[in-house]
A and B are shown apart, each in its own frame.
Chain A
Amino acid sequence: MSPRRAHNGGRIDRSTTLRFTFDGTAMTGHAGDTLASALLANGISVVGRSFKYHRPRGVFSAGIEEPNALVTVIKGKLREPNIPATQIELYDGLAVESQNRFPSLAFDFGAANGLAGNLFAAGFYYKTFMGPVAGPLKGTRFWMFCEHFIRRAAGLGRAGHEPDTDRYEKMYGFCDVLVVGSGPSGLMAAKHAAATGKKVFLAEQEPEFGGSLRWKSAAIDGRPAADWVAATLADLAALPNVTLLPRTTVWGYYDDNALGALERVADHKAHAALGEPRQRHWTIRAKDVVLATGAFERPIVFPGNDRPGIMLAAAAARYATEFGVLPGERIAIFANNDSAYEAALALKDAGAEIAAIIDVRAGVSIAARELAREAGGELLLGYAVTNTSGARRLREIEVQAFADGKVKDGATRAFAVDCLAVSGGWSPAIHLASQAGHAPQWDEALQAFLPPAPTQPWTGAGAFTGAYSTSAALGDDIAVSEPEIEYEPAPVFEIRPTGKKSGKAFVDLQHDVTASDIRLAHREGFQSVEHLKRYTTLGMATDQGKSSNVPGLAIMAAARGLPIPEVGTTRFRPPFSAVSLGALAADRHGHFKPERLTPMHDWHVARGARMYAAGLWYRPMIYGTGGETVEQAYVREAKAVRASVGIVDVSTLGKIAVQGPDAAELLDRVYTNLFSTLPVDKARYGLMLREEGIAFDDGTTWRLGEHDFLMTTTTANAGKVMQHLEHYLDCVWPDLRVHVTSVTDEWAGAAVAGPNARHVLEACVEGTAVDNDALPFMGIVRGEIAGAPVMICRLSFSGELAYEVYCGAGHGQHVWDALMNAGQQFDIVPYGLEALGTLRIEKGHVTGAEIDGRTSPRDLYLDWMLSKKKPYVGSAMVDREGLVAADRVRLVGIVALEDRPLQGGAHIVERLGEEPRGSIGHITAFCFSPALGKYIALALVKGGKARHGQRAFVSDPVRNRYGPVEIVSHHFFDPEGSRMHG
């Protein structure tokens, strides 16, 4: 016998047939089915294999708590593993695979693990696999050999290697009241809040609103519960202040009522609509939150409790009522509370035969007796299920008398059933509350943890608070007709038959943690909840122990002889249920970081520039022409600069407007050198330190007016320098009248460098002279190029006669074109970062590779920039013993004594030995110097200048490059600066 579709009933649309495949087998279902209900309707009992013992497992629940029926959803080349079949809405064309089986679901080699169950008990891997202490498998080798196989056997579904090309997006929502859960109490909470005009969000993790009212038999206001739900929903949907969020799981409760929620927008469709995201990740800011998250039914732990066909009682009822599916033909009920009696009746009404109702309690309520009578079948009070049998599906259960928490010795009765519906009581879904609350409170009557005292503004409603009945959820104003059952369960969590050898009793179905594993953990001292969890992996599976936590705790409490609350509960952390990584990355999946482009970007690309990611910016590295290597390209470009003229895009330099009467004073304080003495229309090179006396950033600052400076920073540090200035102005020197504004994007910058640079400017600049008198070294003039206003500063990073031409960014390309035109007669060459680097290395100028956050100004021989006339940021600490120690690494030049390239990150040693040892420093930047005709580098080396003229060796073991070098001054080329002053 197997599960099947009932002849009638359910809220599915029987007129719509949907096709799907399970492990390649074609099946059909109806609109409104979940994959779980459709599989049951198709008679499928075994849906997956368990984690450790690879036991066959079937559908166990009807909701998000499903531990067993996990599948992989296949969409084209994309795989989505580990999705509970209970959470998958059926659509036409759905394709799924079962998991953790080899070669097939029906026959799985891994099931052999089950034969050695005692060997694989909790913690077994800590006690073995250490391997021999000597020989070829010593150290970690033996373990790694074993691990290889363990890893393959472990794991559940298989993820794909194809990039996920679906869209994910982010959404920020703001509301007065967020109601989480749309069962009776959630609907009422939303209704009440909406009536007061508040902005209400109602989030429901399932596709339909209504929660338990969708499958419970209660009548509300004299009509079926489902009708009441429909009417209430229609009212809510009509209100402008209510937002309904179906398929939306609120998974995280963060500080200040920020809640993370996952909306599954298109998962239930074969194809998302154009532009529609697959999933949307919400951050919801709610003034108040109502948690109406309901409760999870718990199983009872007994031998053989994992066979396909055994499921939670309410789930069985839900399949019958909501989906028109019979989980079995002949069903037994096993319970410690009244709620399962309602399920019994629902199953009977749907067409199943109730074989027996087995209850551990000696007596039950009148309402329960009445339900049992209606459902039919034998009522066995004071009995428990003590064993089950059936290979791939439940065939028979064994029942024995039970009293005082113990199985009584005596006769065993057997019932042939194909389904056992189990209820071990209910646990409120306090997960979100626990993320935003203190420790949960144990309720002795309900045998459950009730919500904790909140640490954030939320209130609870309905079953979440332990008020399980529909009438309690709806409040006094609404008439509810439902059986008056008692939800208080008997405190029975585990059935332990004595004497005979019985099957495994599972606590955590997904992780195959058994009751004896918990007792073993107890025996070995892993008794605190956290130790229990970590040692046995109880509750660590994808269902996060939603149904296993309390039974596990109860078994440990029994072993320790303590009441459950003294053993404690684990704290629930986000997420409440698994959330796709794509949704959390949202729009950054596929667009990790924005691209920052200079005004001349398109020109560079069109000219074949190889672009380099510099932080978020893109900068030309070389403008390689066909067949050129990188080295050939930059050497050609650098040579052209030294021979005639070149042009480089410097728009990415950080630019900060420093304005106000105290602007010069601010600069004096943040730079090591003086700026208050700088005349208007002049620029000066400045160095900034951190408070610790370590070099921070450098750049030129231009005085455009008495109270108006334009500071430039390195590309990399632009943001940091801005924050540095803002911090001092706000927190340390609030009395300074200075405004700082980022103007990096306002200006396009082009540096024109080379002996013919002035001629290029002369050919295109209007409105100002650019000769040596009008524009001396570090002078600034304003004029126009091709009608666009420009500002020109004569400064040099290359050691050549050079100018930086700044114009409005929107004119950048226009001015660049004009400069290129003017330069044509001088064979002007655009150059990239590599040539820029080459030119500066030849001059010994430092950049980020040398100002690496560890070097002091003295290390870089920039002591001359440390003003003695004034304090500045860093002045008080720059002379500490550690910063002036003799063994610090300091800036030097390196010349390769062989015609072979040097490389960044290579180390310098005094002598080469068998093994690389005795590093005295490292290369920070390198190039082939066209000016010197040699491979050269800058390096930070212990002793610095004192080593000039010494022979040393480059030692680069990671690139296997060793060879002789000479340590020289870092000023390789034109040390007097005659060229740039010319």
Chain B
Amino acid sequence: MLIPCPYCGPRDLSEFTYQGDANRTRPNPMSNDQSAWNAYVYERVNTAGDHREFWQHSGGCRAHLAVVRSTLTHEIKSVAFAREVAK
């Protein structure tokens, strides 16, 4: 795979670390809603198709990227800095 890092340009898979499903939202830190925390920590949509996920360019600029990628073909549909998506 080749992941187009918004800073570094397209880079080889070997430079990246997968950081998991990006469909989850961390509950309000003050919340004690266990089902919300359980969903955040343990539940996955595990999409067969376009999947929102985080990758860190750990062997490059170290930015976390929010990537949409097909889990059927590995085709990357979009990439953005995770910071910008998280805001």
A and B touch in the complex (CB under 8 A): yes
A residues whose Cβ falls under 8 Å from a Cβ of B? 172, 254-258, 283, 285, 455, 669, 691-692, 723, 726-727, 729-735, 871-872, 875-877, 880
Give Cα A729 to B54, complex, Å: 13
| B37 lies within 8 A of A877 (CB) | yes
Q: Chain B residues near A727: list those with CB within 8 A.
A: 19, 54, 56, 64
In this complex, what residue of B is CB-closest to A719? B58
The smallest C-beta distance from A172 to any residue of chain B, in angstroms, reads 8
Q: Is B77 positioned at the interface, with any CB of A under 8 Å from its CB?
A: no
**A876-B54 in contact given A692-B41, A726-B64, A731-B82 (Cβ < 8 Å):** no
Q: Once the chains bind, are A730 and B63 in contact (CB under 8 Å)?
A: yes
Interface string of B35-67 (1 = CB under 8 A from A): 001001100000000000010101000111010
A876 in contact with B27 given A258-B2, A691-B41, A730-B86 (CB within 8 Å): yes
Which residues from chain A contact B73 at a C-beta distance below 8 Å?
455
Chain B residues whose C-beta falls within 8 Å of the C-beta of A258 in the assembled complex? 1-2, 12
Docked-complex contact B56 and A732, CB < 8 angstroms? no
B41 engages A735 (CB within 8 Å): no
Given the known A-B contacts A732-B26, A735-B87, A871-B30, are A876 and B2 also in contact in the complex, defined by CB atoms under 8 Å? no
B58 and A723 within 8 A (CB): yes
**When chains A and B are docked, how far (Å) is the Cα of A880 from the Cα of B41?**
13
The 3 A-B pairs of least Cβ separation, nearest first, read A730-B64, A256-B2, A871-B29
A134 CB → nearest B CB, Å? 47
Known: A255-B1, A258-B2, A731-B64. A726 touches B56 (CB 8 A): yes
Chain B residue numbers with a CB within 8 Å of A876 are: 27, 29, 31-32, 34, 37
**What residues on B are CB-neighbors of A733 within 8 Å?**
86
Residues from chain B with Cβ under 8 Å of A732 in the complex: 26, 86
Q: Which residues of B contact A875 (CB under 8 A)?
A: 29
Question: Within the assembled complex, what's the spacing in Å between the Cα atoms of A730 and B41?
Answer: 18
Residue of A nearest to B87 (CB): A734
B residues near A455, Cβ cutoff 8 Å: 73
Residue of B nearest to A257 (CB): B2
Which residues of chain A have C-beta atoms less than 8 A from B81's C-beta? 730
B83 A877 Cβ-Cβ under 8 A: no
In Å, the complex CA distance between A256 and B73 comes to 10
The closest CB in chain A to the CB of B36 belongs to A876
Enumerate chain A residues within 8 angstroms of B34, measured Cβ to Cβ. 876-877, 880
In the complex, what's the smallest C-beta–C-beta distance from B71 to chain A, in angstroms?
12
12 CB < 8 A contacts A-B: A255-B13, A257-B2, A258-B1, A723-B17, A726-B62, A726-B64, A727-B19, A730-B83, A730-B86, A876-B31, A876-B32, A877-B37
Q: Chain A interface secondary structure, helix, strand, loop or mixed? A: mixed
In the complex, which residues of chain A have a beta carbon less than 8 angstroms from the beta carbon of B82? 730-731, 734
Assess whether A255 is in contact with B56, with CB atoms less than 8 Å apart. Answer: no
Among A255, A669, A733, chain B packs the most CB atoms within 10 A around the CB of: A255
What residues of chain B lie closer than 8 Å to A723, measured between beta carbons?
17, 19, 56, 58
A368 to B73: give the CA distance in the assembly, Å: 46
Rounded to whole Å, the gap between the CB of B54 and the closest CB of chain A is 6
Within the assembled complex, what's the spacing in Å between the Cα atoms of A735 and B63? 15
Judging by beta carbons under 8 Å apart, are B30 and A731 in contact? no
The closest CB in chain A to the CB of B81 belongs to: A730
CB closest chain-A residue, reference B29: A871
Distance between B15 CB and nearest chain A CB, rounded to angstroms: 12
B74 touches A255 (CB 8 A): yes
Q: Find the residue from A257, A691, A733, A734 having the highest chain B CB count within 10 A.
A: A734
Q: Which B residue sits closest to A735, measured CB to CB?
A: B87
Taking a contact as CB atoms closer than 8 A, the residue among A285, A692, A726, A880 that contacts B2 in the complex is A285
- List chain A residues, Cβ under 8 A from B1: 254-256, 258
- Across the interface, name the chain A residue whose C-beta is closest to B31: A876
CB distance from A261 to the nearest CB of B (A): 15
The tally of residues in B whose CB lies under 8 Å from a CB in A reads 33
A725, chain B: closest CB distance, angstroms: 11
Q: Are A877 and B41 in contact (CB under 8 A)?
A: yes
The chain B residue sitting closest to A875, CB to CB, is B29
Cβ–Cβ contact B83 & A734, under 8 A? yes
Residues of A within 8 A of B58 (CB): 723
**Minimum C-beta distance from A171 to chain B (A):** 13
Chain B residues within an 8 Å CB radius of A729: 83
Query: How far, in angstroms, from A776 to B16 measured CA to CA in the complex?
Result: 44
Question: Which residues of A lie under 8 Å from residue B64 when comparing CB positions?
Answer: 726-727, 730-731
Q: How far is the CA of A877 from the CA of B66 in the complex (A)?
A: 26
Chain B residues, CB < 8 A from A254: 1
Give every chain B residue within 8 A of A692 (Cβ-Cβ). Answer: 41
Complex-state Cα separation, A735 to B83, whole angstroms: 9
Bound Cα distance from A871 to B66, whole angstroms: 26
Do the beta carbons of A283 and B62 come within 8 Å of each other?
Answer: no
In whole Å, how far is A457's beta carbon from the nearest beta carbon of chain B? 12
Given the complex of chains A and B, what is the CA–CA distance between A455 and B37 in angstroms? 40
Do B86 and A734 touch (CB < 8 A)? Answer: yes
Given A731-B82, A876-B32, CB of A283 within 8 Å of CB of B41 = no
Instruction: Please indicate the chain A residues that have their CB under 8 angstroms from the CB of B84 in the complex.
Output: 734
The residue in chain B whose Cβ has the minimal distance to the Cβ of A880 is B34
Docked CA distance A816–B8 (Å): 40
Shortest beta-carbon distance from B66 to chain A in Å: 8
Chain A min CB distance to B48 (Å) = 17
Give A112 to B7 CA distance when docked, in angstroms: 67
The minimal Cβ–Cβ distance linking B60 to chain A, given in whole angstroms, is 13
Q: How far is the CB of B55 from chain A (nearest CB, A)?
A: 11
- Bound Cα distance A872, B27 (Å): 12
Closest Cβ of chain B to A371, distance in Å, is 47
How far is A285 from B66 in the complex, measured between Cα atoms in Å?
24
Contact status A691-B40, CB under 8 Å:
yes
> What is the bound-complex CA distance between A880 and B31, given in angstroms?
14
Nearest-Cβ distance from residue A563 to partner chain B, whole angstroms: 29
A255 to B27, CA, bound (A): 36
Q: How far is A920 from B13 in the complex, measured between Cα atoms in Å? A: 45
For residue A257, which residues in chain B have a CB less than 8 angstroms away from its CB?
2
In the complex, residue of chain A having the shortest beta-carbon distance to the beta carbon of B76: A256
Given contacts A726-B56, A876-B29, 14 further A-B contacts (CB under 8 A): A256-B1, A257-B2, A285-B12, A723-B19, A726-B62, A727-B54, A730-B63, A731-B22, A731-B66, A731-B82, A735-B87, A875-B29, A876-B27, A876-B31
Chain A nearest Cβ from B61, distance in angstroms: 11
CA A526 to CA B86, docked complex, whole Å: 53
What A residues does B32 contact at CB under 8 A? 876
- Tell me the smallest distance from the CB of B58 to a CB of chain A, in Å: 7
In the assembled complex, which residues on chain A have CB atoms less than 8 Å from the CB atom of B41? Answer: 691-692, 877
- How many angstroms from the CA of A875 to the CA of B32 in the assembled complex? 9
CA A733 to CA B82, docked complex, whole Å: 10
Let me know if B62 and A731 touch, CB within 8 A.
no
A254 and B63 CA atoms in complex are apart in Å by 25
Bound Cα distance from A100 to B49, whole angstroms = 48
Q: Which residue in chain A gives the minimum CB-CB distance to B38?
A: A877
CA distance A730 to B30 in the complex (A): 20
Bound Cα distance A21, B19 (Å): 56
CA distance A254 to B12 in the complex (A): 11
User: How far is A731 from B12 in the complex, measured between Cα atoms in Å?
Assistant: 22
The chain A residue with its CB closest to the CB of B85 is: A731
**Residues of A contacting B86 with CB < 8 Å?**
730-734
Which residue in chain A gives the minimum CB-CB distance to B83? A734
Pick from B29, B37, B54: contact of A731, CB below 8 A.
B54
Of A172, A255, A871, A876, which is in contact with the most chain B CB atoms at under 10 Å from its CB? Answer: A876
A262→B11 CA distance, assembly (Å) = 22
Bound together, the chains give a CA A762 to CA B72 distance in angstroms of: 66
Chain A residues lying within 8 Å of B22, measured Cβ to Cβ, are: 731
Q: Which residues of A contact B83 (CB under 8 A)?
A: 729-731, 734
User: In the bound complex, how far is the Cα of B74 from the Cα of A257, in angstroms?
Assistant: 12
Given the complex of chains A and B, what is the CA–CA distance between A159 and B38 in angstroms?
Answer: 52
Q: In the complex, A780 Cα to B76 Cα: how many Å?
A: 49
Q: How far is the CB of B67 from chain A (nearest CB, A)?
A: 12
Closest residue of chain B to A455 (Cβ to Cβ) is B73
Q: How far, in angstroms, from A254 to B2 measured CA to CA in the complex?
A: 10
B26 contacts which chain A residues (CB < 8 A)?
A: 732
Closest to B63 in A: A730
- Set of chain A residues within 8 Å of B87, measured between Cβ atoms: 734-735
